[in-house]
Structure 1
Amino acid sequence: MRDPKRMFGRWPLLLLVVLALLPRPLAGESRADTLNARLDAVVAQAVAENRIVGGVVVVARDGQVAYRKAFGLADREAGRPARPDTLFRLASMSKPLVSAAALALADQGRLSLDDPVTRWLPYFQARLADGSPATITVRQLLTHTAGLSYGFLEPPDGPLARAGVSDGLDRPGISLAENLRRLATVPLSFPPGTDWGYSLSIDVLGAVVAAAGGGELPEVVARVLTGPLGMADTAFVAASRERLSVPYAAGPGGPHRMADPEVMANKASGVRFSPSRATDAQAYPSGGAGLVGTADDYLRFLEAVRRDGGGVLAPQTARAMTANQIGDLRPALAGHGRGFGFGAAVLVERQAGQPANVGQWAWSGVYGSHFFLDRQAGLSVVVLTNTTPDGMSGRFPAEIATAVYAADATP
């Protein structure tokens, strides 16, 4: 796997390059024509160049679906085409959903963002490197300022690996509680609230959501979020094996069908995937990486956030999700000029030549997907693919964003 910082951080530079090469819209060309033509060209080229095996792109402008198409193959070996209702492993695109479930419970008075984690998980006793106790709050879990980490960001023999902690993408054969107990034995990377570090904090948050919601995490998420929004295909276990896409990983000869397990190396260590986790009802529900869903379902969620909560979140809560919550911290992993809201990165400093507006809320999933919501432009964009890492970072997401914003600029 490519270096995580480079995977996210190259977006602005690539956008500048793509924008410089982008022709002006033809005279008389409508926004709809421009959007269809440019996105059709982007996805066709990605498939033709063997960068992406298959996927679905859905774009909504001011609440109306402006583009909705599947492309390529959901299963290359079987010749099964991708369809709009194809299911994809959401990986870290699970994080905004579980974060929203926590915020919905806060709106209901079931928990407070300033609650210490130990109120809900007494066994999760965090400590600093010197052994002194540390208090982590729900808010710090939501913003990745808790001091936790991910194993794939550490060396192969790092503290999380030595403690046997799962990153939520493999099948370790243990419960969520056991994984978090192991995580709690690892000293924090920094005192909570003092820095930003991408981490297992949303897995911890998932356990808090379950405890505060009075049920197992899948049931609570369905009750407070996906059920009310009509997201019938979004769950921790695939709703249909027949509609589930096959995952592919980039390699020297192009994308190959993922093994189980599959380890993709990066500069630190590697990401361990177990694609069969998506159909394993016994696997623990990873709040940070475990959901499966469709592009249509994810669009429903983004539109609820864009429309000030859509009935599942209070308006001020939905606005807070897409507002910077970490002050002057600037996570390198999130890309240039970005802070972090609840569940995803927020553009706080517009870069020269970058089409996104300040306030754009965006994140991606390591199986090969990404989204962005631009409230100022009225845009909600979901791109789910079955190819990692090209569906989540680099040229393809930059081309998608450029095509969408170019069409939006068309008179």
Structure 2
Amino acid sequence: MAFVRAFGLAALALGLSLPALGQGIPKAQSPEEVGFSSIRLKRLSDRLDEGVKTGEIPGAVVLIARNGRIAMFQAFGYRDREAKAPMQTDTIFRIASMTKPITSVAAMTLVEEGKMSLADPVAKYIPAFADTKVSVKKTNPDGTVEMGLEPQERPMTLLDLMRHTSGLTYGALGSNVVKQSYLDMKVMSADQTNAEMVAKLSKLALLYQPGTHWEYSMSTDVLGRVIEVVSGLPLDKFIEERIAKPLKLGDTGFDVPMEKKDRGAHPQKEGPKGETPPIPDVTARTTWKSGGAGLVSTAADYARFLQMFANGGELDGVRVISRKTIDWMTADNLPPDIKMGDDMWRLGPLEPSARVGQGFGLGFAVRVDQGRNPLPGSPYDYHWGGVWGTYFWHDPRERMYVVFMMQAPSVGQQYQAMVRDLVYQALTSN
């Protein structure tokens, strides 16, 4: 493990690897140059080393940038523990819900071209959603409760999809009749198209009336289908053309070629039953291109995506979206009377509620207050994570972003909190 870290640092010093240099994002001469303490950052390195040594995680990659320069970019542990393959800084990960911000930016490029508006009803592009009903609990005279259906009080809009107020849900994070129907209908099947996916969803009841509750959901998957309808391109091709190619994200897509298989991160057995999490190999090609959770990427690629945000929508002279669109996406877009879905407390510090000082933008959570959240940060930092263990945040006030990559879902929330704590405690100057 020490050899792995030393090799990675040597590669940085010698300029041997483009991914090790953050794909064009310059490296600071020292953490102190961008306001970090090297001694205090070692606490983060030591804690990640400890997690690998104790078997808590197989390995991880962390990238910290401030003022447009990299303060820390290191790999820890194993890319594949069973094969004793060391983690490298260019390891490719399944990023799960860290896909959502990328799909959201892709959608906003169409808004900027006047091809759609966030005020538009989803049914304008997917007509079947005009007839989707909403589940409602009905209490019988004998006191028993059953589920009924009622019409939408107002149509689901594209804004609802972007901020998860659509009434859609996931077949997880709790259990009820609607969520069970998602499982029964296999709405997340890998062998379906996006068109087939939305055809299934439109036949199922909404969990809530659109605009009334924040419920983490397949909204961004539906948004991916809207992108296909409006653009006339498959979602994977649209993201490749509008996001990956302009930003030079060479390892970001819904899968990577077989020649990159040996760069893919693998999970280890975990949990009380010692089971291997069902994380698809990064080369696995499926029919379904999930706009909510389907992408693979590297820490360096995702850092370039965040640097585009930090630059107000452009990178290396290429503009992806406007500065005002960035402002719009990173503002709290939730209405003041929004309610949280019954099971959203399970998201812990990610929950976009007033009780934890957060709202939700267009694709990620947004901190709105200095206090109330159990994790450190600044007002209007924005962030999200993936179920397999990946996580990012961007703190514009501190001119800093962090990308954390691992494939260890059982300790995902624990490590998100730990990385936040240890990054901010190492920040020593403006």
CA distance in 2 between partners of 1:354 and 1:252 (Å):
27
Matched, 1:305 2:309: yes
Q: Is the 8 A contact 2:94 2:279 kept in 1?
A: no
Q: Which amino acid letter does the alignment assign opposite residue 417 of structure 2?
A: A
| Match of residue 192, structure 1, among 207, 210, 216 | 210
Q: Is the 8 A contact 1:248 1:388 kept in 2?
A: no
Matched, 1:405 2:424: yes
Going from structure 1 to structure 2, the CA distance change for 1:48 and 1:304 (only over 3 Å counts) comes to same
CA distance in 1 between partners of 2:76 and 2:64 (Å):
14
Going from structure 1 to structure 2, the CA distance change for 1:32 and 1:104 (only over 3 Å counts) comes to farther
CA distance in 1 between partners of 2:69 and 2:217 (Å):
35
**Which residue is 2:379 aligned to?**
358
Q: Which amino acid letter does the alignment assign opposite residue 338 of structure 1?
A: Q
**Which residue is 1:160 aligned to?**
181
**Which residue is 1:257 aligned to?**
276
Matched, 1:341 2:361: yes
**Which residue is 1:281 aligned to?**
285
Shift of residue 248, structure 1, vs aligned partner: 3.3
Shift of residue 222, structure 1, vs aligned partner: 1.3
**Which residue is 2:73 aligned to?**
68
| Match of residue 244, structure 2, among 211, 226, 230 | 226
**Which residue is 1:149 aligned to?**
169
Shift of residue 256, structure 1, vs aligned partner: 4.8
CA distance in 2 between partners of 1:294 and 1:53 (Å):
16
Q: Which amino acid letter does the alignment assign opposite residue 324 of structure 1?
A: D
Q: Secondary structure at the match of 1:279?
A: coil
**Which residue is 2:44 aligned to?**
39
Structure 1 residues 331-361: Cα deviation after superposition (integer angstroms, max 9, x where no partner): 5432411110011101112226853101010
CA distance in 2 between partners of 1:214 and 1:220 (Å):
9
Matched, 1:115 2:120: yes
CA distance in 2 between partners of 1:302 and 1:145 (Å):
25
Shift of residue 308, structure 1, vs aligned partner: 1.2
The answer to which of 92-101 and 32-41 deviates more is: 32-41
Q: How many residues are matched?
A: 363
Going from structure 1 to structure 2, the CA distance change for 1:35 and 1:287 (only over 3 Å counts) comes to farther
Going from structure 1 to structure 2, the CA distance change for 1:237 and 1:156 (only over 3 Å counts) comes to farther
CA distance in 2 between partners of 1:313 and 1:389 (Å):
35
Matched, 1:127 2:127: no
| Greater relative contact order, per chain length (Cα 8 Å cut-off, separation 6+) | 1
RMSD: 2.3
Shift of residue 163, structure 1, vs aligned partner: 4.4
CA distance in 2 between partners of 1:144 and 1:33 (Å):
39
Matched, 1:372 2:390: no
Q: Secondary structure at the match of 2:63?
A: strand
**Structure 2 length as normaliser, TM-score?**
0.79
Residues 235-250 of structure 1 correspond to what in structure 2 (within 5 A)?
235-239=253-257, 240-248=260-268, 250=270
Going from structure 1 to structure 2, the CA distance change for 1:77 and 1:304 (only over 3 Å counts) comes to same
Q: Is the 8 A contact 1:131 1:187 kept in 2?
A: no
Shift of residue 38, structure 1, vs aligned partner: 2.4
**Which residue is 1:324 aligned to?**
332
Going from structure 1 to structure 2, the CA distance change for 1:156 and 1:89 (only over 3 Å counts) comes to farther
Shift of residue 286, structure 1, vs aligned partner: 0.4
Shift of residue 110, structure 1, vs aligned partner: 2.1
CA distance in 2 between partners of 1:308 and 1:135 (Å):
32
**Structure 1 length as normaliser, TM-score?**
0.82
Please say which structure displays the higher CA radius of gyration. Answer: 2
| Match of residue 405, structure 2, among 374, 384, 401 | 384
Residues 41-60 of structure 1 correspond to what in structure 2 (within 5 A)?
41-60=46-65
Which runs of no fewer than 5 residues in structure 2 stay unpaired? 1-34, 136-148
Q: Secondary structure at the match of 1:393?
A: helix
Shift of residue 224, structure 1, vs aligned partner: 1.3
Q: Is the 8 A contact 1:46 1:52 kept in 2?
A: yes
Going from structure 1 to structure 2, the CA distance change for 1:123 and 1:35 (only over 3 Å counts) comes to farther
**Which residue is 1:294 aligned to?**
298
